[in-house]
A and B are shown apart, each in its own frame.
Chain A
Amino acid sequence: MNRLNRRTVLQGAGASAALIAAPGLVRAQAAPVKIGILQPVTGALAQDGEYGRLGAEIALNEINAAGGIKSMGGAALQMVFGDARSSPEGGTAEVERMQAEGVAGIVGGFASPIVLAASQAASRYDIPYVVDVGVSDQIVNRGLKNTFRFGPGFGTVTSTALENLSKLNDAAGKPAKTVVIVHEDGLFGSGMAKLLNERLPQRGFEVMETIAHPTPSRDMSNVALRIRALNPDLVIPSSYYAEFVLLARTMQQQRIRPKGVYAILNGAASNFRFVKEFPDAANLVMDCNHWADPRKPRTAQVRALAEKDGRFWLYNTPLNYSCVKLLADAIERAGSADRAKVTEALANSNFADHIMPYGPTKFVNGQNTGAAPVNTQVQNGDIKVIFPTEFADAKAVFPAA
């Protein structure tokens, strides 16, 4: 047996110290590039904001560990974090602070109202703004040159969801004919309900009733009882986390078992917290939402990092991870932190090193045209991809029971 002696330990320590210090020495020559990360980490949207921040942190650490921005002499990326406080005013105030700190770009926002106000505030200083989630299609229809949305918008998600719902139903021999829509009464739930009411009848579904509920809601018994009375084949819920969890649990307690629960952009249906905490209520719930590409090896690595401290795997993390990498790639290609150059580099981006199932980015009027949602289903305590078929890792269980 080789025994460690003092000399080998010292040699080893010296060598590792040199290794660790070396990139630091190179990097010390270049001034760091500041990146604004804007997330709502207090207030109603705190959970989403926290997971968004996590994704951004993982990306920044990874980029810096790999030697920073090479075209700028290995400049490190430095995070300037801003808490948007779940409100547009909060977001705007933080954009002003980021401007004062001289950021080269901003990533985040999460909710559409925050994104609308913050990207507008950023446009006054020509700060490139990469939207992480914000699905409202008003965000990219305003003609702001600084605003880029990496993920899919509302219209794309709904079309895909309906397309896949038809496929699912046809493949199973059309067991579902009647639908009840449950939605939160804010921007995304109401918009979704309106679109669904227009388009579901065209695809041969009958909408029996559309039930709106406010956010927050503390009791879903009435909604559940109404669903029981109507006895639809399908329930389509569009709600935030807490309300959908409540609805799913109430339905489970009351033994309301439709042939399928098909959520769209739901806050809980593809959230591992829900799946782990209430496995029975969550089982077989389907969702059409943002989801990381399971084919890419990096996805598993990012997920391992994200879950390291007992956290859950939510779509916010891979989306923000990818958005920060997208911005970093633009800075790399621009070779400068100059905002106009970074904006131009973003506009011409064909970045492919992200972990979303989108292919290389291509922005048209600030919208990434390749962005698309994924259909998932909770199956025995895991979240499986059921559409698109190219990388599905499970077959949909439909109708349930």
Chain B
Amino acid sequence: MKDKTLLLIAIVTLALALLPLGFESNVVLNFLAFAMIITLAAQGWNVLGGFGGQFSFGHAAFFGTGAYGMALLQVRFGVNAWLAMPIAIALGAAVGYAIGFLSFRARLRGSYFALVTLAFAEVFRISANVWSFTGGAAGVLVPLKLDPWNMQFADKRLGYWLALALVALVLLITHRLRESRFGAQLIAIRENEDAARALGADALAVKLKAIALSGGITAAAGSLYTQKFLYLDATLAYGPWISVEALLAPIIGGIGTIFGPLLGAFLLLGLGEVTKTFFANLLGGARPGADLVVFGVLLILCVAFAPRGVLGLLARLRGRGA
């Protein structure tokens, strides 16, 4: 069982890595790279929400901290991008720990925890919007200097492979997590926190570890976003859009599974692209908005008929067949 998952991770990573060798289109490459960023953010959410059962509506707080950390370290302090990234990830983990400490110690659970995370993300957004250090509402612009040394690649495939490498690393971490003692305790807390505590699991410590890990992973997504678009403002970094993406992808793909966030991100973004192209071709020109309607309907169907995500649906169908 253990080796089978590892093998699957290797196969998926290899297949994704070989994808850009098959075509020249930068449109697809751009899509793949963005899908990887969303996957990372979603994987971060999945560690806390999927395995730990702590539903956060404010992963933007971690994403934005990673993004701003990456940008400000380079712009304000002249730190090299390759060094800035681990620092940004550490900052995201620290913010995760701090938010976790404040809310878990107050025993906030369920919708209360969700609302508090949402509020934290908003506080970060408003602060970043007025603080001159973060560039205020004008945002920060990372100068365009295409050089691998600056983590800005002339060949877009390199950027994609970097993101993919991080996704693969997180796949491994998630796999290890599920197998580990820490992971078992986390899942036990998800199923019944009081029972887990009665059995000797230190619920606060476990949840804090999980939210720090979750924050770090999502911050990695933020730092990649900065390097890809080289421009940030408060709404991009801390806006609710990324909290929603980070939460939708695992829910669509399969919550609390290793491949769920990856599958979900591809389905979500892919569906958007496919419906957009399909409608442009069908109606002979851009018909903005029509694709969003279809996208919404498909999303409703997905949640209505596959409440445990696509992976859950597959498992259910297989179970019925056997």
Interface residue ranges, A against B (CB under 8 Å): 41-42, 46, 81-83, 87-89, 92-93, 96-97, 99-100, 113, 116-117, 120, 123-124, 136, 138, 142, 144, 185-191
- Output the least CB separation between A80 and chain B (Å): 9
**Interface of A, helix, strand, loop or mixed by DSSP:** helix
Provide 19 A-B residue pairs closer than 8 Å at the C-beta atoms, listed in order of the A residue: A41-B288, A83-B276, A89-B229, A93-B31, A93-B34, A96-B27, A116-B141, A117-B229, A120-B230, A142-B141, A142-B144, A185-B137, A186-B129, A186-B137, A186-B235, A187-B139, A189-B137, A190-B129, A191-B136
**Residues of B close to A99: CB separation below 8 A:** 26-27
Asked if B231 is an interface residue, CB under 8 A from chain A, the answer is yes
Give chain A residues whose Cβ lies under 8 Å from the Cβ of B321: none
Contacts of B31 in A (CB 8 A): 93
* Contact of A187 with B137 at beta-carbon distance under 8 Å, contacts A81-B285, A92-B30, A116-B231 already known: yes
B66 vs chain A, min Cβ distance (A) = 16
The chain B residue sitting closest to A187, CB to CB, is B137
Partner of B229, one of A41, A92, A142, A189: A92
B236 proximal to A (CB < 8 A): yes
Tally of chain B residues near chain A (CB < 8 A): 32
Judge whether B319 is part of the interface by a CB distance below 8 angstroms: no
Are B138 and A185 in touch, CB under 8 angstroms?
Answer: no
Known: A142-B143, A187-B137. A83 touches B286 (CB 8 A): yes
Is the beta-carbon distance between A191 and B26 smaller than 8 angstroms?
A: no
Q: List, in ascending order, chain A residues with CB within 8 A of B292's CB.
A: 42
Chain A hits for B27, CB < 8 A: 93, 96-97, 99-100
Chain B residue with the shortest CB-CB distance to A194: B136
Nearest-neighbour CB distance to chain B for A320, whole angstroms, equals: 16
Q: Nearest 10 A-B pairs (CB), nearest first?
A: A190-B137, A41-B288, A96-B30, A83-B288, A187-B137, A116-B231, A81-B286, A96-B27, A42-B288, A96-B26
Q: Contacts A99-B26, A117-B229 known; A89 to B34 CB distance under 8 Å? A: yes
4 further interface pairs, Cβ-Cβ under 8 Å (given A185-B137, A188-B137): A88-B236, A100-B27, A113-B236, A191-B138
In terms of DSSP, what is the predominant structure of the interface of chain B?
A: helix
B78 on the A face (CB < 8 A):
no
Within the complex, the shortest CB–CB distance from A178 to chain B, in Å, comes to 24
- Residues from chain A with a CB closer than 8 A to the CB of B34 are 89, 93
Which residues between 259 and 312 of chain B lie within 8 Å of chain A, taking CB atoms? Answer: 276, 285-286, 288-289, 292
CB neighbours (8 Å) of A46 from chain B are: 288
* CB atoms of B137 and A120 under 8 A apart: no
Which chain A residue has the least Cβ–Cβ distance from B37? A89
Q: Which of B25, B138, B231, B241 contacts A117 (CB 8 A)?
A: B231
Cα-based distance from A36 to B139 in the complex (angstroms)? 27
The complex places the Cα of A394 from the Cα of B290 at a distance, in Å, of 44
Residues of A within 8 A of B236 (CB): 87-88, 113
User: CB-CB < 8 A to B229: which residues of A?
Assistant: 88-89, 92, 117, 120
In chain A, what residue has the closest Cβ to B122?
A214
Asked if residues A187 and B230 are in contact (CB atoms below 8 Å), the reply is no
Contact B141 A138 (CB under 8 A): yes
Chain A CB within 8 A of B98 CB: no
| Complexed CA–CA distance, A68 and B187 (Å) | 67
- Residues of chain B with a CB closer than 8 A to A191's CB: 136-138
In the assembled complex, the Cα of A152 lies from the Cα of B180 at a distance in Å of 60
A267 and B62 alpha carbons, distance in the complex (Å) = 33
Chain A residues with Cβ under 8 A from B29's Cβ? Answer: 96
What is the CB-to-nearest-CB distance from A236 to chain B, in angstroms, rounded to a whole number? 17
Residue of B nearest to A192 (CB): B137
- Residues on the B chain within 8 Å of A136, using CB: 138
Q: Which residues of A contact B231 (CB under 8 A)?
A: 88, 113, 116-117, 120
Closest B residue, CB atoms, query A184: B137
Closest Cβ of chain A: how far from B16's Cβ, in Å? Answer: 19
**A113 and B154 alpha carbons, distance in the complex (Å):** 22
Question: Residue of A at shortest CB range from B132?
Answer: A194
A89–B235 Cα distance when bound, in Å, is 13
A136 to B154, CA, bound (A): 26
**In the complex, A88→B141 CA distance in Å?**
13
In whole angstroms, what is the CA distance A136 to B231 when docked? 13
Task: Report the nearest A residue to B292, measured CB to CB.
Answer: A42
Give B103 Cβ to nearest chain A Cβ, in Å: 24
In the complex, which residues 13-33 of chain B have their Cβ closer than 8 Å to any Cβ of chain A? 25-27, 29-31
Name which residue of chain B comes closest to A101, CB basis. Answer: B27
Q: Of B130, B230, B286, which contacts A190 at CB under 8 A?
A: B130
Contacts of B130 in A (CB 8 A): 185, 190
Nearest CB on B from A158, distance (A): 14
| In the bound complex, CA of A99 to CA of B24 (Å) | 12
Q: Give chain B nearest CB distance to A124 CB in angstroms.
A: 8
| B154 nearest CB neighbor, chain A only | A124
